Amino acid sequence: MSRRQVLLIAIVLLAACALPFVVSSYRTFQLTMALVYSIALLGLNMLTGYNGQISLGHGAFYAIGAYAAAILMEHFGWPYWATIPVAAAVCLVAGFLFGLPALRLEGLYLALATFALAVSLPALLKYHHLEPWTGGVQGIVILKPDPPFGLPIDADQWLYYFTLAVAVLMFVLAWNLLRGRMGRAMVAIRDQHIAAEAMGIHTAMVKSMTFGISAMYTGVAGALGAIAIQFVAPDSFNIFVSIMFLVGIVIGGLASISGAVYGALFIQFVPNIADAISKAAPWAIFGIFLLGFVYLMPTGVAGAVRMAVARLTRKAHNQPKS
């Protein structure tokens, strides 16, 4: 990474840290949710953007992570921060196990399988035999964590920093992974999977692992989201969540880490903007926003940013030095 990129990221992080003191509690809460979505989108992007496996069902892993956190906190009294690694582990395994039979499915068929997963999960959460754990249709209420060590910040701000820290960690891990052998293998499989196999990449293993890791990311996001909202219920995790995740990575930019952030900001804030524009048909306005973004930036916001930067630097290079 170039010096300039490191500087840019440092500035962004600094700004992110300063935000909770500048904006209201409500905005801090919204930004926390945007951070949560960015982790989820990073997970989905790894699978769909970098590895080419389309998933219409990541909402299911989001739900599993959320319920894992809720059940641990409610039934076992675990502290909130300890539930994150468990949610990660559970979803890693769940994703890997789902990825195995999914190896046989390509494109549309995989889309259907993941769609089916997302649609079936609320039914499973409501299943009366599992009710003592999941709270059934009533869901589970979670207590908001208090800032530790008596820090002079309120609960919303603490949650924001906690989420930010986890997000930074997850992003760094992802960057490392995608830069290395695994990342190259993932992209190779996406672009030319037969050639990749011929080159000695164990496609089955890589694809299943990618599914697992992608699920893990979304599961961590789910757990953080549950803690931020303080409530989980089957109605919170319908198919629309999965669809919004897909929309998020496409708008943000496929196969791009920064795309996860842009996409998260889009799915968190644009529905509210659409609602402000039209009370009568807000989702129609949202749809129009979607069309606009896709027409103008088919490679996503990250793609457009990349092109703009390239054009600017090219211009700078082409300026005659007089």
Q: By C-alpha distance, which of 170, 165, 179, 206 is closest to 47?
A: 206
To which residue do tokens 């930036």 refer? 297
Question: C-beta of 7: minimal distance to other proteins in Å?
Answer: 31
Q: Which is nearer to other proteins, 182 or 241 (CB)?
A: 241
Q: Which is nearer to other proteins, 203 or 299 (CB)?
A: 299
Per DSSP, the residues of 152-202 read SS-HHHHHHHHHHHHHHHHHHHHHHHHHSHHHHHHHHHHH-HHHHHHTT--
Outline where DSSP puts E strands in the chain. Answer: 140-141, 231-232
Question: C-beta of 30: minimal distance to other proteins in Å?
Answer: 7
Pairing type for strands 231-232 and 140-141 reads antiparallel
Question: C-beta of 188: minimal distance to other proteins in Å?
Answer: 15
Chain-centre distance for alpha carbon 133: 26
For residue 107 the two structure tokens come to 């494109």
Q: Which is nearer to other proteins, 168 or 230 (CB)?
A: 230
Q: Which is nearer to other proteins, 55 or 258 (CB)?
A: 55
Question: C-beta of 181: minimal distance to other proteins in Å?
Answer: 24
Q: Which is nearer to other proteins, 11 or 281 (CB)?
A: 281
Give the Cα separation of 58 and 118 in Å (integer): 7
Give the Cα separation of 75 and 157 in Å (integer): 26
Which stretch of DSSP H or E encloses residue 213?
Answer: helix 203-229
Counting beta carbons within 10 angstroms of the beta carbon of residue 67, is it exposed (0 to 12), middle (13 to 18) or buried (19 or more)?
A: buried
Q: Which is nearer to other proteins, 272 or 313 (CB)?
A: 272
Residues of the shown chain interacting with other proteins in the complex, contacts defined by CB under 8 A? 24-26, 29-30, 33, 48, 54, 101, 104-106, 108-109, 111-113, 115-116, 119-120, 123-124, 126-128, 136-139, 141, 194, 225, 229-231, 233-236, 238-240, 243, 246-247, 249-251, 254, 275, 279-284, 286-288, 290-291, 294-295, 298-299
Q: Which is nearer to other proteins, 148 or 287 (CB)?
A: 287
Question: C-beta of 314: minimal distance to other proteins in Å?
Answer: 23
Question: C-beta of 208: minimal distance to other proteins in Å?
Answer: 14
Question: C-beta of 13: minimal distance to other proteins in Å?
Answer: 25
